[in-house]
């Protein structure tokens, strides 16, 4: 049987308040709840439907099965909201990390697209995220996971330069060249950063298709799922990467998703040859370090990075939508315009030394704002509409543009 790596992403954006043109210059807060309490309401709703029941189940499984392991990352703004709106979420996460069977990954603090636009901002957000993770959980992440698994050759080098020993991303057929997605790859970076690629089909069978009665494989049983996993070889890695909200929010409790997951872990571990792994366990086999001269040398790791197949990704990819590209956030004039403007403000914003302006500028980088502006239709359009708090992409663009205009006004 192959090894299974379970990874969950925890993220909630700060949604924008409904500002109008006439509000510009009136010193209104863009994100704090001014009546509808949208951020608190959404966070607590998902807490009750997903975070508490799934984290409680994971805690039960971790303490019941010493060989059960999983990995998660949480954006900095998720952790901020959890501390403010639902401290029980933080308590549950801390108890899981304390078990020693759960790994925490690094990511950008504001779930941003900074890796595509600003190396300096990217580095700042990683440092701020690592600082918060250390403060809350007492650990320092060794592996990086970029926003929406966005990755390219250039990003591999950025991640390597920050000292991370590996990263996660999507397996995209156009760059795999017919090779198996279940192996460990090397990035096109100086030291060949190791990569683990998401198994999209098996991940999405749970994340998206589990309750779809029109799916030809419905219903998905644990026995069927284990049979699919068991078709791979011992040397394969089945990387099941999905949003945490899969459990209870995207797939509601009455679909049986919690029972499915619990039974899956139990049945998987009944076979003594089956193994859950974490990214650090895998990547440490390929770890490198520097000698006193600054030259890169191999550690006592048992595997050579030079033996890994290279995953050459010249254009950025992600785990979003059918094409696994950037068009969820960067496809139309609305998105290009607002992304250019927000990152063009970097120097001017930082020069203000005004911490509230800098905070708001960073919150405006959150990828969700641009996702809401997407005008794609067909298969992807339904997904975008489901996640958006706005009636249309045009409303998302209008609200963001007004806030952006106000931010610029504050810097005068």
Catalytic residue numbers?
A: 148
Provide the residue count of the chain. 412
CB 269 within 8 A of CB 65: yes
Q: Which residues pair with 10 in a beta bridge?
A: 74
The DSSP-derived string for 251-279 is: B-GGGTHHHHHHHHHHHHHHSTT-EE--H
- Burial string for 342-367 (b: 16+ CB within 10 Å, else e) reads bbebbeebeeeeeeebeebbbbbbbb
**Token couple for 77:** 């703004």
d(CA 129, CA 51): 21
CA atoms lying within 13 Å on the CB side of residue 31: 20
Within 8 A by CB and 6+ apart from 121, the residues are 112, 114, 343, 346, 365
**Do the bridges between strand 144-145 and strand 102-104 make them parallel or antiparallel, or are there none, so unpaired?**
unpaired
User: In this structure, what is the dihedral angle of CA atoms 82, 83, 88, 91, given to the nearest 10 degrees?
Assistant: 110
CB 88 within 8 A of CB 55: no
Residue 360 CA to its chain's centroid (Å): 21
d(CA 1, CA 271): 9
């Amino acid at each position: 049987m192959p090894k299974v790596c379970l990874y969950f992403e925890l993220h909630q954006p700060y949604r924008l308040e409904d500002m109008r043109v006439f509000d510009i210059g009136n010193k209104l807060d863009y994100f704090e709840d001014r009546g509808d309490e949208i951020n608190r309401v959404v966070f607590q709703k998902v807490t009750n439907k997903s975070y508490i029941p799934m984290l409680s189940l994971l805690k039960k499984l971790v303490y019941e099965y010493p060989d059960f392991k999983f990995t998660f990352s949480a954006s900095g703004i998720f952790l901020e909201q959890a501390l403010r709106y639902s401290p029980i979420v933080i308590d549950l996460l801390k108890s899981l990390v304390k078990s020693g069977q759960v790994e925490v990954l690094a990511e950008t603090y504001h779930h941003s697209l900074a890796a595509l636009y600003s190396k300096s901002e990217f580095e700042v957000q990683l440092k701020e995220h690592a600082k918060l993770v250390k403060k809350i959980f007492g650990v320092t992440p060794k592996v990086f996971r970029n926003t929406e698994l966005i990755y390219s050759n250039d990003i591999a080098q950025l991640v390597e330069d920050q000292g991370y020993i590996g990263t996660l991303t999507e397996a995209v057929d156009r760059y795999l060249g017919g090779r198996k997605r279940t192996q460990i790859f090397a990035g096109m970076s100086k030291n060949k950063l190791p990569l683990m690629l998401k198994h999209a089909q098996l991940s999405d069978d749970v994340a998206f298709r589990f309750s779809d009665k029109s799916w030809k494989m419905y219903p998905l049983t644990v026995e069927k799922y284990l049979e699919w996993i068991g078709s791979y070889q011992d040397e394969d890695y089945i990387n099941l990467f999905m949003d945490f909200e899969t459990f209870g929010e995207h797939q509601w409790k009455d679909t049986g998703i919690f029972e499915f997951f619990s039974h899956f872990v139990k049945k998987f571990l009944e076979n003594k040859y089956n193994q859950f792994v974490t990214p650090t366990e895998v990547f440490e086999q390929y770890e490198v370090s520097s000698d006193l001269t600054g030259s890169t040398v191999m550690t006592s790791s048992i595997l050579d990075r030079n033996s890994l197949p290279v995953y050459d990704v010249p254009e950025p990819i992600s785990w979003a939508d059918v094409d696994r590209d950037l068009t969820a956030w960067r496809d139309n004039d609305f998105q290009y315009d607002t992304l250019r403007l927000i990152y063009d403000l970097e120097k001017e914003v930082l020069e203000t030394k005004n911490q509230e302006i800098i905070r708001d500028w960073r919150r405006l980088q959150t990828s969700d704002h641009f996702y809401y502006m997407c005008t794609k239709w067909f298969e992807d359009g339904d997904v975008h509409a489901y996640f958006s708090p706005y009636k249309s992409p045009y409303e998302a663009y209008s609200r963001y543009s007004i806030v952006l205009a106000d931010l610029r006004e504050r810097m005068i």
